[in-house]
Structure 1
Amino acid sequence: MNVSLKRIQAIFMKDYKEFSRNYAISMVIFLPLILALMYRQTGAESIQSYFLPLNMTFSMVTAYVQSCLIAEEKERNTLRSLMMSPASIADILLGKSLLVFILTGVILAVSAYIVGYAPSQVVPIVLVLAISTVFYLAVGTICGLFTKSVMEASLAVLPIILVFSFGPMALNLTETNVMYKIAQWLPSAQLVILAEHSQQGASVGEIVQPLLLITIWTVVAIVIAVLLFKKRTKDE
């Protein structure tokens, strides 16, 4: 699969201009920061309180903005032109994801600073946050490809926000609870579990397990996004 840096950069710049002009989408990036400020005022210092703004960033920024940018292309009928251009699938998907990836990284860093989260083991946390970002980019791409307009994309992301952002709260329940047994497999919950293990100085094996599960979620989401993109290419 050929990858052209020039084409990726061109798609990135196009998305940047559209994002900066669309205030309805761009203003969303401030919501996790506002939530982080609110949590800072409460004085909560648990891993779950630290990671709620971070998980909200993934769903409300990464998935939401990505889906809206894809849906906006479809709504304007410009995605078809992009698909028919010499750009490969990798060029398009990487170019369409680069802006949101950078935005997510910045907001995650600022949110973590605001709530005062300082991981004892930086490398595994940064790695799992990067993998999680890719997962939510793939989920956002899927939502954008399934919908026909920005409004539809906004509605399609709502279940993602509710389930993945607030799902980890079920970890406060007893292990015998049905909601706990289901929620613990969510990538957002595994992210919290990994952070807790890391903060407690757990062994490599205890950290690798949630990292592996999040990676599996990510690979599956990427495969679905690529297959759906190919299908949309034929449909168009």
Structure 2
Amino acid sequence: MNMSMKRIQAIFMKDYREFSRNYAISTMVLVPLFLAFFYGKSGVNMIQMYFLPINITLAMVTAFIQSCLIADEKESNTLRSLMMSPASVADILIGKSALVFSISAVILALTIYLVGYEPANIVLLVLALAVSIVFYIALGTICGLYTKTVMEASVAVMPVIIVFSMGPLALIGLSEKYPVLSAAEWLPSAQLVVLADALEAAAPTKEIIMPFVVMIAWTIVALVVTSVLYKKRMTDD
């Protein structure tokens, strides 16, 4: 795989300029911070409540911003030019993900600080959050590639925000009445909470590894779909 750091950096800077001047996209980073601040002041001390703003950050910041940046490229007819340029698939996908990954990491760190969450194992939590960021970047890319405008992308990503951020609380909470909703336990956002619970309880290694396996599996599937869809868009008229 032929990658060029100069091309990746150029794509990164292009996205940074677009992000900084598009306030409809950039102001989205404030929403989870306000929520985390509110939760922190309310004195919550449950893992599930700590991870509500964390999962909202992943969906509302990571997936939303990524989908809008991709859709903006399509709306301005620059994505096709980028696809036809000497830049490889890896250059483009990494370059267009690097900014969102960096923003997500910073907002997640601030969210965790504001909500007052102190992880039992910061290293494993960081690894899990890194995997989660990649997953949501892939989801955002899929939404952006499927849509034609930023407005369409902002609507298309709404199910991602609702299901993946609210799933661990709303869907699982209703699973006793509607057993089919118990499948929500396998959502990557729910598995992130399971992992945090296992870390707090100093659970056996198997109970810590399993959530990682599930999240990595989701991420691999999302990346494969992203790659296939991207290559398909390269051949579309």
TM-score range, shorter chain: over 0.9
The answer for the alignment partner of 1:217 in structure 2 is 218
Residue 115 of structure 1, CA deviation? 0.7
Structure 1, gaps ≥5 residues long: none
Q: Percent identity among equivalent residues? A: 59
Q: Which residue of 1 aligns with 2:81?
A: 81
Task: Please give the alpha-carbon distance, in whole angstroms, between the structure 1 residues aligned to 2:202 and 2:178.
Answer: 27
Partner-residue secondary structure (3-state), 2:186: coil
Q: Which residue of 2 aligns with 1:39?
A: 39
Contact 2:175 2:182 (8 Å CA) reproduced: no
Residue equivalent to 1:125: 125
Residue pairs, 1:156-167, within 5 angstroms: 156-167=156-167
Tell me what 1:144 maps to. 144
Q: 2:114 maps to which residue?
A: 114
- TM-score normalised by length of structure 2: 0.97
Between the two proteins, the alignment pairs up a number of residues equal to: 236
With normalisation by structure 1, the TM-score equals 0.97
Measured in 1, the distance between the counterparts of 2:179 and 2:141 equals 30
1:77-117, CA deviations, whole angstroms, 9 ceiling, x for partnerless residues?
00011000000000000000000000000000000000111
Q: Which amino acid aligns with 1:116?
A: G
Gaps of 5+ in 2: none
In structure 2, the CA distance between the partners of 1:94 and 1:175, relative to structure 1 (3 Å rule), is same
User: Does residue 1:228 correspond to 2:229, yes or no?
Assistant: yes
Rounded Cα–Cα distance in structure 1 between residues aligned with 2:178 and 2:203: 25
Q: How does 1:30-109 map to 2 (within 5 A)?
A: 30-109=30-109
Matched with 1:205 is: 206
Structure 1 residue 200: Cα displacement? 0.8
AA aligned to 2:89 is: I
